[in-house]
Structure 1
Amino acid sequence: MNPIVAGLGEGRLAVALRRVGALVLAVTLTVAAASMFGTVVQADGFDWVDVLRIALIVLAAFWLAWGACTAVLGVLFVPAPVGAVPGRPTGRTAILVPVYNESTGPVFARIEAMYRSVERTGMADLFDFHVLSDSTKSQSVADETAAYRRLLVRLRAGGRLYYRHRPENIGRKAGNIADFVRTSGGAYDYMLVLDADSLMRGETIVEMVRRMEAEPRLGLLQTLPQVIGLNTLFGRVLQFSAAFYAPVFARGVAALQGGEGPFWGHNALIRVRAFAESCGMAALSGKPPFGGHVLSHDTVEAAMLARDGWRVRLDPDLGGSFEEAPANVIGYAKRDRRWCQGNLQHSRIIGAPRFRLWSRISILQGIFAYLSSPIWLLFLIASLAAPRFAPPPVYFDGRSLFPVFPHPETTTALALLFGVVALLILPKAILLVRALLHGDSRYFGGAATVTASAVLELVLTSLLAPIHMMFQSRSVAQVVFGGDSGWPAADREDGSLSFASSLQATWWMSAGGLAALIFAYFYTPDLLLWLSPIAVPLVFAPVLVHLTSSTAIGAACRKFDLFLTPYEIHEEQVIADMREALRASGGSGKPAGAAPTVPAGILPV
């Protein structure tokens, strides 16, 4: 038997066993949580509100349990060695940088840094860079054209660097990439799809091509981008979390998804022939938000590749892959709103013909990632209302001459609460202990520093979790009812927000949190303490959003070595090149951090 085929067969069996094991464990934990909660709610009688609450807790508990299983699997899973052709690849690769009304200086600084990094590999002749503009503002187009011409001369990149502006923005980014495939894709074997804020190490790009050439049926190879370039408190927490936790979570995702892995829309290498054969997408019938062009096209394209027998793989060990991210809670929520609409739109695609079962499950996971917030919100509202609908206690049940008094299920309630908290905290605690035992803490400033950072990250994300829940619940409601979002003015260049902007964006959730506390105080006082960890952060949401957007607090954390990432402790050449190119061009942008000198393509986690 062909060794590649044999290896794939063994891989499918192993992946199937991991999927079944994770599913059984998640269902077991969910049944236990539902059973315990059912015991608690029956203490004061049983009514239709309790049925609703049990149904909601089943959905919410399964989502938590599935996430915890994925994280634990990431700790336990040891990936098999990945094949790669030695030496110089044979195929040609197009590096695609789609832009849409971007700040031109940072975009072309990243392109210059990647171009120089690829040159240092000695294989620059195998790679061409294409800037694919969908910009709609005439000034943006003029700036892009001028920046392209300057960079073309400075790099002497004739025949290696191209710029194209598409006059009609049809299909957004998916249409932009599809247009390139139709007009120029035949000249290339592979295309590296980036975002305007993407940055990648030249050695990583070459390694990805080597891996793809080693496996002829590999249609898409996804990296795990690391967040850089953020200086606010929120940004620093986000960077630390992505660097410290995400690689292990990604290993869990890779272990479960196998050859039907994810595509996150950027920092991924795609076989051009596979994409051209499999990934043509027509617009959905009807109007947005559920009709029109597919917004979250990447998940659908991964499913279409898998449907046609191409492998889609996530390799978490591929380092040197970077991106930027929103620097404050409001910017994060704006981006999340767009993703929410795209993922809920997938409800019309999940039943597409010939999709593989796991592809449908992945699409469902993406939908549920946003439905989970309104599920939790509805559960909280139902829990507040439940005592008002509880039937009066029945002291004589007709079977005994003596009264039967209801007894509180305090022990069961506490056990359930401990279980929910454990599902939330245990994965992070395991990863912290693992880093301390394996010595990986040195990449994050040492044992004491990484422990303090992890504890503070847990506190801050717990405080911000109710705010994210409210933003996501509102986004889901807007999409379901066909509306569009209304957001405050965009934040400043450095990511900081004024208190007025924070208040404008979050006053409604402050009012909701205060109303919930008042209601609980007068009508359900027994729930007041339980509600406080959620309602109190909502009351102070404007303050939390404002403070976490502070660059001064972010700088103070950096001064005290909090939330350090490997990309700040040791400098990496491609990030230094990007900063230097940005300074040389006089463009504006956020300064990026630095990364460690580690074996090419390997993350230190």
Structure 2
Amino acid sequence: MARAHLTRAMALGAAALLSLGGGWLYMRFIGNDGTSPLDVLRTALFTLVGFWLVWGGVAGVLGILAPPKRVARSAGQPLGMTAILMPVYNEDAAASFSRVAAMNRSIVNLGLADRFHFAILSDTNREEVAAEEIVWFEQLLSEPMAEGRVFYRRRERNIGKKAGNIEDFISRSGGAYDYALILDADSLMDGATIAAMARRMDDDPRLGLLQTVPEVIHAHSLFGRVMQFSAAYLSPYFARGTALMQGEEGPYWGHNAIVRVPAFAASCGLPVLSGKPPHGGHILSHDYVEAALLSRAGWKVEVDPYLGGSYEEGPENLIEYAKRDRRWCQGNLQHRRVLGAPDLKVWSRFTFIQGIMAYAASPLWLALMAASILAAALPSKYWWRDNETGIWVLAVAVAIALLLPKFLILVRSTLGRRNKGFGGTLRAALSVISEIVISTLLAPIMLCFQSKAVIEILFGLDGGWPATNRDEGRVSLSTAFAASWWVTVAGAAVLAISTAFASDLVPWLLPVALPAIGAPLLIAATSRGIASGRQPILFTTTSETAPAPIIVEQQRIFLSWTQQGSAPAEPAIAGTAAVHV
């Protein structure tokens, strides 16, 4: 833990020095002819958003510098009983239940069936989807050793959303289990990884939660494949840096993690915030709060980026991503209500602030841009001389913070011969460059979506918890326009205003304004998939070049279940298949 404290101090110090140094340079260049209140505001905004930008880069650099780690896995059968929980909410039942089937087969093949039970916890409120869940649950009961080990229950009222779903299971059935592996409906984990996590809990009685770093799989669209490549190639290094800083007060991302049931039950009762949503009500981003409560109670919360065998699926287009991001935004902004909770660890409070700033930074960037346009529009014969260098400082600082870690990861992967699983060094390099280009084009659109979300929440508009359309892929141009026309209008307005009043600033605003104006086209274009049967040149990942057996097995099960004419018939009484737990 002392090492984590030292790493945190060094990382915070580096981020603070770099951001303050950048702010000092920025102020020096924009204030050559005298410092105005607008200059102070711009410098403050630059320093604040710059800190969080640099902070993300520092985590990546730490992960790159970290020596490779191999976690020794204790052998033998886990001692504790583990419940593997999959909450579902209006999901594709065949897809979700086939993942349970694949994980069950993996565990059975390891001879560990008597140590692991599965519970599908349904919050589904659409009757047609609920009927499908019963159908596929009966199919699931025909899997090896499923009887008496695989359960299903559906809540009549989904109080507290996913957190309430888990809490309901813990309160009703948690006493039968030592550990609970919490999944999402799109989660898939290898049986060996699950067993290793349970043994880690056995070996360390202070370990309250162990989080894996899931890899995104099964992406088909350009948007999804960019996210899949980034998660597989870039994210592990950022996760390693995060793990070094978090130490025993690590994050919890709400899924693909194992918890110690007694610790979770005793420590993680969530408060219902006073007032109505979006500011009050049930906490949507419950995972960060639960991690903080475990840490407060003295339990270790760790993330292990080296475990492997942990997978999830991601959205296939930016609209679906923005819908999910809107919920995360509302949940993270709720954390300001729990920042002052008694006895929380300092690092837990910092994690809350970090989550809040992940969304608050977007409107702050827009404020910086607006202040820069205003400064350029004010009459001053010295404006361009004084501000050209300041804009260069801003552009170079952003580029270094965003790009340097990615290129260092490419170099580290090349030296470590890691690129083979990503199609070779040339394809990996082209993929990294393409990821940077596409992310840069989509960044202004996400900036607008996140800023809109923050403003809506501040004005009391509740986004709720919409069901995730995980299979929603290609977006038509008309649908994309309906979702983002206002982004186009905003981009055009910025360009028109700057052309009329601050023409010297236009070249610097084009990388932001043009993608915003073309938002419908970019959203529609990136939602398209590659032609069937073609091997993609870019964004190849190891899950495609050498897919893990659990991935292959799940796909085989899903296809065998859903191919024409093979789906099981509905039971005569839909409720007879449900086993309540």
Q: TM-score by structure 2 length?
A: 0.93
Listed as ranges, the matches of 1:256-295 within 5 Å are 256-295=245-284
Partner Cα distance (1:203, 1:374) in 2: 44
After superposition, the C-alpha distances for 1:489-509 in whole angstroms (9 at most, x for unaligned) are: 997945000000011111111
Check whether the contact 1:449–1:562 (CA below 8 A) recurs between aligned residues. Answer: yes
Distance in 2 (CA, whole Å) between partners of 1:240 and 1:344 is: 29
Shift of 1:409: 6.0
- SS of the residue corresponding to residue 155 of structure 1 reads coil
Q: Is the contact between residue 327 and residue 464 of structure 2 (CA under 8 Å) also seen in structure 1?
A: no
1:223 aligns with 2:201: no
1:427 aligned partner, one-letter code = P
Aligned with residue 537 of structure 1, among 478, 501, 515: 515
Are the structure 2 counterparts of residues 307 and 39 from structure 1 closer, same or farther at C-alpha, using a change threshold of 3 Å?
same
1:360 and 2:349 equivalent?
Answer: yes
Question: How do residues 412-431 of structure 1 correspond to structure 2 at under 5 angstroms?
Answer: 413-431=391-409
- 2-side partners of 1:548 and 1:310: how far apart? 43
Aligned to 2:2: 13
Distance (whole Å) between structure 2 residues aligned to residue 65 and residue 206 of structure 1 = 37
Q: 1:598 matched to which residue of 2?
A: none
2:14 corresponding residue in structure 1: 25
Instruction: Quote how far apart the aligned CAs of 1:382 are.
Output: 1.1
Q: Does residue 1:458 correspond to 2:436, yes or no?
A: yes
Q: 1:569 to 1:18 in 2, by over 3 A?
A: same
Does 2:91 match 1:124?
Answer: no
Asked if structure 1 preserves the Cα contact closer than 8 Å seen for 2:91 and 2:469, the reply is no
Distance 1:164 1:285 in 2: 30
> Are the equivalent residues in 2 in contact too, given 1:106–1:587 (CA < 8 A)?
no
Q: Which moved more, 1:75-84 or 1:334-343?
A: 75-84
CA distance in 2, matches of 1:235, 1:73: 27
Q: CA deviation at 1:140?
A: 2.0
CA contact (8 A) 1:513 1:536 kept: yes
- The answer to whether the Cα contact below 8 Å between 2:91 and 2:468 also exists between their aligned partners in 1 is no
CA distance in 2, matches of 1:490, 1:139: 16
Return the offset for 1:417.
2.5
- 3-state DSSP of counterpart to 1:370: helix
On the 8 A contact 1:44/1:390 being kept in 2, the answer is: no
Q: 2 CA distance for matches of 1:488 and 1:537?
A: 27
Name 2:58's counterpart in structure 1. 69
> What is the Cα deviation at residue 43 of structure 1?
3.5
Q: Deviations over 1:248-271 (max 9, x none)?
A: 000010000000000000000000
Q: Which of the numbers 417, 432, 446 marks the counterpart of 1:468?
A: 446
Aligned counterpart, 2:573: none
Q: Which residues of structure 2 form unaligned runs of 5+?
A: 565-581
The alignment status of 1:342 with 2:331, answered yes or no, reads: yes
Between the aligned partners of 2:210 and 2:164, the Cα distance in structure 1 is 21
After superposition, what is the alpha-carbon deviation per residue over 1:94-141, rounded to whole angstroms, capped at 9, x for unaligned?
000111111111011111111111111111110000011111122222
| Whole-angstrom CA distance in 1 between matches of 2:301 and 2:224 | 30
The structure-2 alpha-carbon separation of the partners of 1:386 and 1:211, relative to structure 1 and needing over 3 Å to count, comes to same
Paired residues of 1:100 and 1:133 also in contact (CA < 8 A)? yes
How far off its partner does 1:571 sit? 2.6
> Post-superposition shift, 1:350?
1.0
C-alpha displacement of 1:559: 2.7
Q: Is the 8 A contact 2:88 2:122 kept in 1?
A: yes
2:142 to 149, 153, 161: 153
> Structure 1 CA distance, aligned partners of 2:340 and 2:415?
45
The corresponding residue for 2:79 is 90
Give 2:547's aligned residue. Answer: 571
Q: Secondary structure at the match of 1:34?
A: helix
Secondary structure of residue in 1 paired with 2:153? strand
1:262·1:312 contact (CA, 8 Å) conserved in 2? yes
1:103 and 2:79 correspond:
no
Equivalent position of 2:569 in the other structure: none
Aligned residues of 1:334 and 1:487 also touching (Cα < 8 A): no
User: For 1:390-425, what per-residue CA distance to the aligned partner results, in whole angstroms no more than 9, with x for missing partners?
Assistant: 5676xxxxxxxxxxx995464564344323211110
1:204 to 193, 205, 226: 193
* Distance change in 2, residues 1:493/1:68 (3 Å): closer
Contact 1:45 1:392 in 2 (8 A): no
Show the counterpart of 1:142.
131
Matched, 1:236 2:212: no
Secondary structure in structure 2 of the residue aligned to 1:245 = helix
Q: Distance in 2 between matches of 1:489 and 1:202?
A: 28
Q: What does the per-residue CA deviation read over 1:38-68, in whole Å, with 9 as the maximum and x for residues that have no partner?
A: 1222145432222211111011110111111
Distance in 2, Cα, partners of 1:203 & 1:418: 45
Which amino acid counterpart does residue 416 of structure 2 have in structure 1? H
Contact 1:36–1:413 (CA<8 Å) still a contact in 2? no
Change (3 A) 1:139 1:537: same
Aligned-residue offset at 1:335: 0.3
How far apart, CA to CA, are the structure 2 residues paired with 1:523 and 1:45?
Answer: 22
Shift of 1:79: 6.7
TM-score with structure 1 length normalisation? 0.90
Whole-angstrom CA distance in 2 between matches of 1:493 and 1:275: 32
1:47 to 36, 57, 76: 36
Q: Which moves more between the two structures, 465-474 or 568-577?
A: 568-577
- Aligned to 2:141, what secondary structure does the other structure show? helix
d(CA) in 1 for partners of 2:164 and 2:403?
Answer: 41
C-alpha separation between the residues in 2 aligned to 1:60 and 1:290?
Answer: 24
Q: Any conservation in 2 of the 1:93–1:191 contact (CA below 8 Å)?
A: yes
CA contact (8 A) 1:36 1:416 kept: no
2:370 to 359, 362, 381: 381
Query: Does 2:145 align with 1:169?
Result: no
* Distance in 1 separating the partners of 2:563 and 2:117: 24
Q: Which moved more, 1:174-183 or 1:299-308?
A: 174-183
Distance 2:145 2:418 in 1: 41
Cα distance in structure 1, aligned partners of 2:466 and 2:86: 29
What letter is aligned with 1:585?
Answer: W
Tell me the alpha carbon deviations over residues 450-481 of structure 1, each in whole angstroms, 9 at most, x when there is no partner.
Answer: 01111111100010010110000000011111
Q: RMSD of the alignment, in Å? A: 2.1
Q: Do the aligned partners of 2:70 and 2:306 also contact (CA within 8 Å) in 1? A: no
8 Å CA contact 2:71–2:307 kept in 1: the answer is no
What percent of counterpart residues are identical? 47
Q: Does 1:190 align with 2:179?
A: yes
The residue type paired with residue 179 of structure 2 is Y
| CA pair 104-253 structure 1, distance change in 2 beyond 3 A | same
Summarize the alignment of residues 293-304 of structure 1 with structure 2, pairs less than 5 Å apart. Answer: 293-304=282-293
Give the corresponding residue for 1:581.
Answer: 557
Alpha-carbon contact 1:220-1:269 (below 8 Å) kept: yes
Task: Please name the residue that 2:538 is paired with.
Answer: 562
Answer whether contact 2:22 2:47 (CA < 8 A) is retained.
Answer: yes
Aligned residues: 564
Contact 2:95 2:558 in 1 (8 A): yes
1:388 is matched by which residue type in structure 2? A
Distance 1:408-1:200 versus aligned 2 partners, 3 A rule: same
Q: Which runs of 5+ in 1 are unaligned?
A: 1-11, 394-404, 589-605
Segment of structure 1 superposing worse, 294-303 or 416-425: 416-425
Q: Is the 8 A contact 2:278 2:463 kept in 1?
A: no
Runs of 4+ in structure 1 off by over 6 angstroms are: 486-492
CA apart distance, 1:187: 0.7
Is 1:432 the counterpart of 2:421 in the alignment? no
**Structure 1 429/237 Cα, relative in aligned 2: closer, same or farther at 3 Å?**
same
The residue type paired with residue 15 of structure 2 is: A
Deviations 1:529-553 (CA, angstroms, capped at 9, x unpaired): 1111111111111111110001147
The one of 62, 78, 83 aligned to 2:67: 78
